[in-house]
Homo-oligomer: A and B are copies of this chain.
Amino acid sequence: MEFDVAAATRIVAQVRPSLTGHQVEDETFEVRLDGSPQASVEILDAEYGGRLDVVDSATGQLSIHYRATVAVIDDPQPLVPRHGSPALERLELARPSRYCPSDHVGGIAAAEFGAIDGAGAQAAAIASWIHDRIGYVAGSTDVHDSAEHTLLTGQGVCRDFAHLGILLCRALDIPARFAAVFAPGLDPMDFHAVFEAWHDDGWWVYDATRLAPRQSLVRIATGRDAADTSFATVIGGRATLTEMSVMATVDGELPTDDHASLVALG
C-alpha cells in the first residue's frame, strides 16, 4: 500500500493473517516514509486472533509492505470466542450493524427464506440465492453502500455479497459475521471477503461469489461487517491511498470447492 500523506496522520493497517487456524511461519511488515524505513509504532491484538498495526506517519510518501508464509492447520481449532462467551458472541452477531441493517429487512427475508426448515438450510439457500441473483460488477458500489443497496440494485463486489449474506441471516435470527481474507485463486487478485453463519454448533463459511475455494482462504480480520475489518483506517491528518496490490498463492494445487458442503474457515 502506498499513501500520499498530506498532513501527519495515523494509519491502522489490518493485513496480517490472524493467529487462528493457521501458523504464520515468517512475516515481514515494512514501513517506509519517502523511502526511509520507519518503525511501526504498535501491534494491537484484535478479536478472533486479528492483529492491527498502528502506524504514525509524518507527511510524505508512505509505503507499507507486508509479506508472510502461512501453514494452514489441518484440523483448525475453533476461534477463541469474542469476549470469552460464545453465547454472548452469538447474541451480538445477530444484531444489526452498519452495513447489515437486519432489523429493516424482516419482510423480504421471511418471504424468501422463512419457509425453509433449519438455520443451516436457510444459510445455504441465502448463499445460493445471492449467487444466482446478484451480479459481480466492479465499481458498482462504494464504501457507504449497505447490503440493502446490493439487494435492490442487484449488483456489488465481494464485500457486498458478504454483507448481503449477513443481512439476510441475521434477519432470520441466525448469527453471522464478516471475514476479510486472503484468497488464493481469486482473479483478479485482491483482498477478499466472505461471511460465516452459526448453525449446527459451528461457524460455517459461505462465499456467495464462488470466486475462490474456501479451503485455502486465510483469515485476516473478523467482525460485524466491513466497518470492523478495513485493511487501512486513516485517523486524523490527511492521507490518500494511491496504490495497493495484493498477492496470495498456494504451494501446489488449489483445492476444489463444490460450494455445497460445509466448510469451516481456519
Residues of A within 8 A of B (CB): 12, 42, 44-47, 52, 54, 82-83, 85, 87-88, 91-92, 94-98, 101, 103-108, 110-111, 133-135, 142-144, 148-155, 173, 227-228, 233, 235-236
Contacts and interface: CB of A to CB of B under 8 A. Distances in A.
A107 B227 contact: no
Contact of A154 (B52, B92, B111, B151): B111
Contacts of A155: 107
Contacts of A101: 98, 144
Nearest to A46: B88
A42 B111 CA distance: 32
11 contacts: A47-B83, A91-B233, A95-B227, A96-B98, A97-B97, A97-B98, A103-B144, A107-B134, A107-B155, A108-B133, A111-B133
A186 to B, nearest CB: 23
A52 B91 contact: yes
Most chain B CB atoms below 10 A, which of A94, A95, A143 = A95
Nearest to A171: B152
Contact of A91 (B44, B95, B111): B44
A153 B143 CA distance: 12
Leading 8 A-B pairs by shortest Cβ distance: A107-B154, A96-B98, A95-B227, A105-B152, A107-B153, A111-B133, A173-B235, A104-B144
